[in-house]
Chains A and B, each alone.
Chain A
Amino acid sequence: MRRSWLFFSLGSVSQVCQVVLLRELLTLAEGTELTIAFVLGSWLTFVAFGSFAATRLLTRKGQRLDPVLAYSVASTFLAASVFFDLWLIRFSRTLFSLPPGEPLSVAQWLAVAIAVLLPVCFIVGAQFAFAASFANPSGVYIAESVGAVIAGALLSLLLLRWFDHSSLSSFFLALHLLLSSALLWRYLPNARWVSAAIGAVAGLNLVFAPLVEQKTQTAFWKSMFPAAEKVHSVASPYGSIAAIKFSDQLSVYQNGHLLFTLPDQGDVASLAHLILLQYPKPRRILLIGGLGGWVQATLQHPKVVRVDWVELDPTIPQVVLTLLPRRERGLLSDPKLRRYTADGRSFISQARQTYDVVIVVAPDPTTAASNRFFTREFFSEVLRVLRPGGVFALHGLREPPAGFGELYFARNHCVYATMLKVFCEVLVVPSSPLTLLGRCPVTPSMPDELARLTLDEKTLLQRAKERRLENINLFAFTDPIQVERVNYELKTGLPFNPLEREQAKILRPKWLNSDTNPTVYFLSSLLWLRMGSEKFARLLEFFVFLPRWSIWLLALLPFGFWLVGRMKSASWAAPATTIVVISSVGMLAELTVLLTFQARFGTLYLQVSLLFALFMLGLALGALVAERNEASNSIRALAFLSLATSTSTLVWLGLALCFPKVPPVIVAVSCGCFMVLFGGLVGAAFPLTVKAMRLSGIDGSKAAGLTYAYDLIGGAMGAFIFGAILLPLWGIPNLLFLCAFLCLAAAIICSAQAKLP
């Protein structure tokens, strides 16, 4: 057991590599969370290949490969692979000769992701096999998990805030190399020169890391925007922030995705005033996001006494403010302005005061993170902090300039319908991007002319005059034709144009957008896919129009699989079915925990490493406990495990639905605990299945191999199919119910199998 602890650095470096590469690949995919599912699924698969290949290498007849030597040498290849990967990711745009501003297509992203993940995962898997060959496998598993947990915690709580990816990787790789070197020095005296060489590589690793970071970042930005001058970049806890100067504009990017550009050419100020003119005397304003023009405009509106401005990522204002002209910087030290650094939703959910107007400047809901500002739950939270008659403005929903596009249309209608469920009145401003105005129920004391939202230019200019607000141009937002068009289309789902209306048959999904059922996010993801792969996107669109009840057809799959196995007299079918079910459910559950965490706290970017590590810890603990189970009881134990997974899924669902009302600390702790729990359930399934396979007549190593294969299939299914496709489409509650049922089915199958001769 003591030897096993020498391999804890494998867990650390594996965890760091996983998080760093995931974050880098997220940047290439413009932050779309669908990629998380792919990365997780691929990680499992490739690690398994590496482990399998190394095991074969070690167990071949006549093989004299020393596992310690192999392990140590593999560490150097790991270090090289990680730096190669960082280089590949940041040079990928140049390699594909993409013009500035063009993101990678889906196919290109997949190619880069596989090229990046395969070598690293393969080596990590191989190193595990080498380590397990040298020391107690269970001990190595546990040591690896502990290493992963420690690294995950350090990353989330400390290191990701201060260090860039190259530095982080190089530090942990250096540690791993040094430990490998020490291991070799201790246990293979004949190879001390190799040990010394590995130690030297560790040193070189640390020396070259800053250079690699600088060169690759420069190359990335040069390919993105060659003519621009990159003035500032910083690793924020929420993403990699870069401020780019071009002509008189400053553009801010987060994770390679354009967030906003300053100055806003005057449009924003007029729009902000238009919003504030909807309320009789707006005194207290809450502004979420909207650095630059929004802040200034709200401060300059007459009668406003206080503006609470909430910005999630404190790095962005810090970066931008130092680069804005002095005159504009001065406005932001206005005494009426109070700045808060917090997630917008958390701020609203905990706010005690009420506001006259709440303005949310959100990015287009192309990611699960941004989708949070377009959900029913969020709208309800906003309604709570608005005074009677208060106005809510949501700015950020894109529509194609021509006004057409089935997917955009379906998506935007979903947002409108969701908002109308919460607010008594919704009006769409034809800005670019769109601004949706919502109003609270008014009080009887409110003057009639101010009781309704309006985009009548004359009325608004009159109000502006009364407030002594001069030089505002509202035409762009009050053109009657455009106002009528956008409102008609978003409200009715029909084209405004009478020529089209005669013949239009536009279908749209009938679901609202919520935290647990992110329909808008799914439709945005379809748009992202369609830009790169028309055929794949069309296939996924097919799922949009399937009725909800069709999901339950999947529940019959375990029975089908088992029955086919029984027909072939394969008594191993029951444990095989069970491990596929538990692995896929475990993977899906892991993803739902991540999404729920993100929905509550606004971001996963910083905490993802800790959450992954907790899952790994659960895997190890589960495997350890299950190892001690009696072989003769394994099929019954599998039945019990399936039941436990089913119950855990339902309990998790119940808790997750209560999270909006629960203090953040409890949410965070619950997410952590459930990560460990689900990891434990998946981890326990493996040894139990191996034992059950052996009981059904399959011999030792073949049982392990088969179990591994089915475990992978389940994990991949959980990630790719459930996680990437069905989860955003059908929502968390539906899928978790389905998972509970699948586990129940597996439990029934195992119980039935236990009773059969």
Chain B
Amino acid sequence: MPDRREFIRNLLLGSVGTFAVICNCQYASSQTRRKNSNTPLVEIPQRWWKPLPNNRLQCFICPLNCVLSNGQVCGCNTRLNVNGRLMTMAYGNPCIISLDPIEKLPLHHFLPGSQTMSIATAGCNLRCLYCQNWQQSQVRPDQLRNYNLPPAEAVKKAKEHGIRVIAYTYTEPVVFWEYAMDISERAKSEGLKNVVATALFMNREPVREWCKVTDAFAVALKGFDDEFYRKVVGAPLKPVLDAIVTVKSEGVWLELVTLIVPTLNDNMKQIRDMCLWVRRNLGAQVPLHFGRFVPEYKLRNLPRTPVQTLEQCRDIALDVGLQFVYLFNVAPHDANHTYCPKCKTAVIRRLGFKLTSNDLQRGICPKCKTRIPGIWQL
């Protein structure tokens, strides 16, 4: 006859047993995935990290500046400390390989109409609540099924398929920066172009290094309020602004992208402040894209951004003096086109991501002969 103690003991044993079964199932599940995903470990040059006592180290690639104990993974989910050395798990193992129009990044003033080979690995150093690629960005590379694509192979594939531009996008290229850099160097030597779509939450030194092998950046400036950045994006704003200015100062082509999220970053005063900042620090000719939010991930109970709001943002930006302001995720719309800042002729017409006409002649407006800034030819 069981007494109370025996009953509780049996119940606890049963619970422990169940827990052990669950752990085994989890382990089996993760092992299955690990077998299917090649997760190499590549050492990162010591220029970007510093060893600390007790086998710890500090990474300086992004402003998180993670201090890692042995075996610990960075906040970006891709780098880790292996016996006092900083290694990356995101090298040669993209989880996304895609062919996309360049307008999708979006880059409207860089080789319009060209197709890119887009590459992304798992991981991200941000935690945006509305991430459109959360299933890839919020996990580690060893938790996904990946492809095997070393840098040389990536360039070879691009050339085989007639692609002239390689894009590092979808998740966050900052977290597979080493891989992106190696591909970029090889691609550059083979005459290919490299473009990056990034939130650029990165320290300035690595940004400078990156600019040497990159031809264009599409930077997501997600808002202009530090509280919004910390709460919704998961990082402070200032490092992003500093990184953007660094890109500009290095002379690399730059376009900015801001997704407008209803109630969170659609304050018109902040939009105006942002546009003023862009004008002062980057110049009136930097293209700015306002995007329509689509409910996803953790913000799926907010509606899409009203088009009226986006148009208001665009009006503010034009009013402040920015010359090239676009709307994306809204098509068809007149704001998809490129207009000559002088004579207001639509020199490039688009329908969403599709280029429908390009009247520019080597970057010159056919009507008033004004030079439109951008990179229009290889």
Interface positions of A (Cβ within 8 A of B): 30, 99-103, 224-228, 244, 246-249, 251, 253, 256-258, 261, 265, 400-408, 432, 473, 475-476, 479, 497-500, 503-506, 530-531, 534-535, 538-539, 541-542, 570, 572, 697-698, 702, 706, 709
- Which A residue's beta carbon lies closest to that of B129? A102
Task: Mark out the residues of chain B between 284 and 328 whose CB falls within 8 Å of any chain A CB in the assembled complex.
Answer: 294-304, 306-309
Given contacts A99-B299, A251-B303, contact A402 B133 (CB under 8 A): yes
B152 at interface (Cβ–Cβ under 8 A)? no
B135 contacts the other chain (CB 8 A): yes
Nearest residue, chain A, Cβ from B138 = A534
Rounded to whole angstroms, the CA-CA distance of A253 and B301 in the bound complex is 9
Assembled-state Cα–Cα distance A539/B25 (Å):
6
Chain A CB within 10 A, most for which of B96, B301, B331: B301
Give the residues in chain B near A246, CB-CB below 8 Å: 262-263, 303, 306
Q: How far does the Cβ of B146 sit from chain A's closest Cβ, in whole Å?
A: 9
Taking a contact as CB atoms under 8 Å apart, the answer to whether A265 and B295 are in contact is: no
Residues in A with CB closer than 8 Å to B361 are none
Q: Which residues of chain B are within 8 angstroms of A403 by Cβ–Cβ distance?
A: 98
Q: Mark B126-152, 1 if CB is under 8 A from A, else 0.
A: 000100111110110001010110000
Mark B101-128 against chain A: 1 for CB-CB distance below 8 A, else 0: 0000000000000000100000000000
* Min CB–CB distance B32 → chain A (angstroms): 8
What is the CA–CA distance of A417 and B170 in the complex, to the nearest angstrom? 28
Q: How far apart sit A542 and B26, CA to CA, in the bound complex (Å)? A: 8
A102-B298, A256-B301, A401-B132 as given contacts; A226 in contact with B263, CB under 8 Å:
yes
- Beta-carbon contacts under 8 Å, B160-208 to A: 161, 170
Cβ of B51: which chain A residues have Cβ within 8 Å of it? Answer: none
Known: A248-B306, A406-B135, A698-B1. A500 touches B262 (CB 8 A): no
- Would you call B276 an interface residue if the criterion is a C-beta within 8 Å of the partner chain's C-beta atoms? no
* Among A226, A253, A406, A476, contact of B352 (Cβ-Cβ < 8 Å): A476
- Which residue of chain A has the shortest Cβ distance to B28 in the bound complex? A542
Between-chain CB contacts (< 8 Å), 20 pairs: A30-B301, A99-B299, A100-B264, A100-B302, A101-B129, A101-B264, A247-B309, A249-B303, A249-B306, A258-B295, A402-B96, A402-B133, A473-B332, A497-B98, A498-B161, A499-B97, A499-B98, A499-B161, A534-B143, A541-B29
Residue contact A258 to B147, C-beta cutoff 8 Å: no
Take A102-B298, A246-B306, A402-B132 as given contacts and tell me if A534 and B29 are in contact as well, using a CB distance cutoff of 8 Å: no
CA–CA, A534 to B139, complex, Å? 9
Docked Cα-Cα span, A505 to B29, in Å, equals: 16
Asked, given contacts A226-B263, A505-B36, A534-B139, whether A432 binds B294 with beta carbons under 8 Å apart, the answer is: yes
Contact B97 A500 (CB under 8 A): yes
CB distance from A660 to the nearest CB of B (A): 32
Expressed in whole angstroms, the minimum distance between the Cβ of A253 and any Cβ of chain B is: 7
Residues of chain B contacted by A400 (CB below 8 angstroms): 132-133, 135, 296
Tell me which residues across on chain A come within 8 A of B264, comparing CB atoms.
99-101
In the assembled complex, B231 has its CB within 8 A of some CB on chain A: yes
* A542 CA to B148 CA, complexed, in Å: 24
A489 to B231, CA, bound (A): 36
Q: Which of A99, A244, A265 has a CB less than 8 Å from the CB of B129?
A: A99
CA distance A655 to B161 in the complex (A): 58
B2 contacts chain A at the CB level, 8 A cutoff? yes
CB pair A404 B306 closer than 8 Å: no
CB contact between A499 and one of B117, B170, B294 (< 8 Å): that residue: B117
Say yes or no: is B9 at the interface (Cβ < 8 Å to chain A): no
Q: Return the contact of A538 from the options B7, B30, B232 (Cβ within 8 A).
A: B30
**B12 at the A/B interface (Cβ < 8 Å)?**
no
Assess the A539–B26 pair: CB atoms within 8 A: yes
Cα–Cα, bound, A284→B270 (Å): 51
B355 adjacent to chain A (CB < 8 Å)? no
Q: How far is the CA of A500 from the CA of B148 in the complex (A)?
A: 10
Task: Answer yes or no: B368 CB below 8 A from chain A CBs.
Answer: no
Does B351 belong to the interface (CB within 8 Å)?
A: yes
Q: Which residues of A contact B157 (CB under 8 A)?
A: 499
Q: How distant is the Cα of A248 from the Cα of B303 in the complex, in angstroms?
A: 12
Q: Which of A103, A475, A530, A702 lies in contact with B301, CB distance below 8 A?
A: A103
A402 to B97, CA, bound (A): 11
Cβ-based interface call for B330 (8 A): yes
Alpha-carbon distance A402/B330, docked complex (angstroms): 16
Tell me which residues across on chain A come within 8 A of B298, comparing CB atoms. Answer: 101-103, 531
Contact in complex: A702, B1 (CB < 8 Å)? yes
Residue of A nearest to B299 (CB): A101
Write out the residue numbers on chain A whose beta carbons fall within 8 Å of the beta carbon of B95: 404
Nearest CB in chain A: distance from B367 CB, A? 26
